[in-house]
Amino acid sequence: MTPPLEIAPARGKLGVLLVGLGAVSTTTIAGVLAIRKGLASPIGSLTQMGTIRLGKRSEGRAPKINEFVSLASLDDIVFGGWDIFEEDSYAAARTAGVLEPAQLEPIRAELEAIKPMPAVFDQRYVKRLSGPNVKKGKNKRDLAEQVVADIREFKSRHGCDRMIMIWCGSTEVFMKESAAHATVASFEKALEESDDSIPSSMIYAYAAIREGLPFANSAPNLTADIPALLELAARTKSPLAGNDMKTGQTLIKTIIAPGLKARLIGVKGWYSTNILGNRDGEVLDDPESFKTKEESKKSALDYIFQPHLYPELYGDLTHVVRINYYPPRGDNKEGWDNIDIIGWLGYPMQLKINFLCRDSILAAPIVLDTALFLDLAKRAGMSGIQEWLSFYYKAPMHAPEVYPEHDLFIQLMKLKNTLRYMQGEELITHLGREYYD
């Protein structure tokens, strides 16, 4: 057993800054406020409801995660953020239409007190949105400095001891790594020149990481997953997580696909289509934004099935992903999957899955867990990519020399073993030979 890490205590207030106070953010904020008042249960949150096995099965030790590691209390969280619309969080939550008015009324005053700061926004990167609450600056470096000023002012005004930032904004147009992203120096030069290769999300990430804040990316954008910001995170000791929260259809894929692969059941085709009518659906109706999401959603199966190792089973898999914007559906998202599978002696079979879900309801506990775990990582002196949080993401950040792990169950094992490692507990291998030798 290794000695536990030295983890600073979770004393004082934790400022959680959310970029984009839309459906996901307001559902998260409203949920935390309701849970604090005892009006709701934190279903879906590993940090609030999950347990962790310690030692041998025969020992019967399985404390709750939030009793095992030093996580910030929900009572100590202070929410803030930026948005292109001026409405407060109560009005934004009513507009989003995820939660019922009866759920919002008991926390209305607290929600109304959370008003968005003017956002960094450029419609060239999110073509289907526009709003009036937008910062102006002489260049992108100036905009980044304004975000830094917002972070410092919020921390001072609310007396926060620690801060984190999570991008909960929209999917930006598809972008590849460029020369501007290579180093901190090239990135800052590109900021000065308002280079087109730096979208709004990177400006926020740069500001947060420069200030030493943990940063997470809940969208499939490139954002912090570039050498320049990884270099900066190493310098400022900022923990990073992302990309693209795993909520609806991809969550189901990372549950079903590992089971098929474990039993060596072949897959010839996987057709996925989604209908959704919220702001996210409107943004993804633009082909350039959809390209970013498509790359994120399609990559999981390639890594889970490993067709290079199992060419006969998965080598000619046809994988199709469609997203259709349908306004009457609102935040209710429906995912249809048709999976053509092959069994013993080449016998063809099919799986058909219809998942009707509320996207923001599934995303909110991920936002909360990411915030609390990243704060823990920062206090434990862990910086850079936090691959143990890949459990929550469709396109998890990873070291360039390894492939990303997409199997949900391996991801959960990695997460819990990281918590055991932090506390100096024995890692669980599930070998179990000691019961039979």
- The helix or strand, by DSSP H or E, that contains position 348, with its residue range, turns out to be strand 348-358
Confidence class for position 330, pLDDT limits 50, 70, 90 = confident
Euclidean distance between CA atoms 336 and 358, whole angstroms: 14
pTM: 0.94
Q: Are 277 and 330 in contact, with CB atoms under 8 Å apart?
A: yes
CA torsion angle for 392, 297, 183, 367 (degrees, to 10)?
-30
* H-run or E-run covering 326: none
For residues 323 and 293, is the Cβ–Cβ distance under 8 A? yes
Q: List, for residues 180-215, the tens digit of each pLDDT value.
A: 999 999 999 999 999 999 999 999 999 999 999 999
Quote the CA–CA distance of 342 and 345 in Å, as a whole number.
8
Q: Is the pLDDT of residue 290 over 80?
A: no
What value does the mean pLDDT of the chain take? 94
Both tokens assigned to 436 = 């039979």
Residue 50 has pLDDT above 80, yes or no: yes
Helices (H), 13-106: 23-36, 46-49, 65-68, 89-96, 101-104
Alpha carbons 349 and 111: distance in angstroms, whole number = 50
What mean pLDDT is predicted for residues 39-63? Answer: 97
Structure tokens at 282: 């409107």
How distant, in Å, are the alpha carbons of 109, 246, 356, 409 from that of 27?
Answer: 15, 16, 18, 27
Q: Which residue has the tokens 């959809």?
A: 290
Determine the Cα–Cα distance for residues 247 and 249; give it in Å rounded to an integer. Answer: 7
pLDDT above 60 (res 296): no
List 241's β-bridge partners, or say none. Answer: 216
Task: Calculate what percentage of the chain has a pLDDT beyond 70.
Answer: 95
Confidence band of 283 (pLDDT split at 50, 70, 90): low
Reported as a single tens digit per residue, the pLDDT across 369-394 is 999 999 999 999 999 999 999 999 99
In sequence order, the β-bridge partners of residue 362 are none
- Rounded to a whole number of angstroms, the distance between the first and last alpha carbons of the chain is 22
Residue 221 has phi, psi (to 5 degrees) of -60, 160
Read off the pLDDT band of 434 (50, 70, 90).
confident
| pLDDT tens by residue, 62-94 | 999 999 999 999 999 999 999 999 999 999 999
- ∠ Cα 145 376 21 (to 5°): 50
Q: Which two tokens stand for residue 177?
A: 């790594």
Across the beta sheet with 384-385, what order do the strands follow? 117-118, 77-83, 13-19, 160-167, 215-217, 239-242, 384-385
